[in-house]
Amino acid sequence: MSQACLEQLLADIRPADKRAMEAARRHWDSLAKPLGGLGAVEDAIVRIAGMTGDPHVELTRRAVVAMCADNGVVAEGVTQTGQEVTAVVTENMSRGASSVCLMSKCAGADVFPVDIGVARPVTGERILQRNVRRSTANMVHGPAMTPQEARQALLVGVEIAQDLSRQGYQLLATGEMGIGNTTTSSAMVSVLLDVPPERVTGRGAGLSSEGLARKVNAVKTAIAVNRPDPSDPLDTVSKVGGLDIAGLMGVYLGGAALHMPVLIDGLISSVAALAAARLCPAAADYMLASHASGEPAGELVLDALGLRPFLRAGMHLGEGTGAVAVLPLLDMGLAVYHGMPTFEGTKIEAYQPLT
């Protein structure tokens, strides 16, 4: 993606439609129930009205975009399992046999696994083959990828958002699969939010205390070696990030340009959301937070985005599972939004806001 193309994409992103949001809020307040009784669910549907520019909110078709990529930093002993697991789970996604696929069947969502950087070729008819490179380099010794590769990965995400919009999808949920990606995410959070690695680095998929110490040291070393620019999200992701994160940045930006809501999953997805919002603050208007990750940086990143999660359930599986878990809540909210009688229709005196 050239600088001109990126600038045009960012210029196409506009803030959410306040008139549509006000109309949606008025409709909620007209329903024969306590004002704001559904809390964050009401707020989310109001925000989605602003994203789409239409107070008649429909989310019947939704897709999970799961960016799959390996990370060279695994060589530092920062994970409990090896890189080979990324390819196995990616292929399981293609067969509908991963956690997010099974949950998505319940939630009425279609899963699209994307090979954007898996270390070995993966097979499966559902896999979107968009590989930029076979794993990033070990960021402890130098940049994880080139600036050109980071831009290419971002463009992959934009193009997938565009393709799914053309297919009629109305909401995108983000997910990922990549051994080592809580390490890259921790590094990016440390840089973008200017906080010490010790504060934002967690145990990932189950590290021992010794493993956690190696992970923190890897994050510290990678930042010291590469000196990413905290004011430049693309520089940061290319030096200490991952191809999955760069691809998800593109999904957020592409969704925002298309006026599509994009549902954030856990830590890795939220870091990509933060980086996208740093590139274009208006893109945050099109993001919804699903849950607060069990990782130490989970709440910190959502706070930086100004987003409130639906769930605090200690989830830290990834793949998009947290995002998918929220879809039934939105469905139930929309059932009330579209089906509940109004105060006027039931001849009940309407609630009034009190101070």
Q: Write out the catalytic residue numbers.
A: 319
Helix (H), strand (E) at residue 287: strand 287-289
Tokens encoding 18: 């306040």
Helix, strand, coil % over all residues of the chain, rounded to 5: 55, 10, 35
Residue 168 CA: distances (Å) to CA of 74, 260, 297: 38, 11, 34
Q: Are 134 and 227 in contact (CB under 8 A)?
A: no
Contact residues for 111 (Cβ-Cβ < 8 A; gap 6+) = 63, 64, 66, 93, 96, 98, 100, 101, 104, 126, 175, 320
Region of residue 206 (phi > 0: left; psi between -120 and 50: alpha; otherwise: beta): left
Bridge partners (DSSP) of residue 69 are 117
The structure tokens listed for 114 are 């994307």
Tokens 């191809």 locate to 243
